[in-house]
Amino acid sequence: MTNAQPNTATPATPQKILSKDIHAKWEKISDTEASAMKAKSDLVSQVQSKYSLSQEQAQKDVNIWANGRDF
């Protein structure tokens, strides 16, 4: 017999992205800017602009970071 607790977390449930998560990864994006984002494309635009990246590189960086997360 074990005292294991049932697993109530659903692994397939994406984690909600919070503005503090975005700011923790990209310090140049303020919490206010991050909280105004409605879609991943908004984040890609901000990363591209704030870090002087190509659209392709910003998209790649955001996709890698956002894997398993949901806006």
Residue identified by tokens 């017999």 is 1
| Rounded CA separation 19/30 (Å) | 8
Which of 49, 43, 45, 2 is closest to 19 using CA atoms? 43
Tens-place pLDDT, residues 2-50: 555 554 444 555 567 788 999 999 999 999 999 999 999 999 999 999 9
- Contacts of residue 33, defined as CB under 8 A and 6 or more positions apart, other chains included, come to 46
More confident residue, 70 or 36: 36
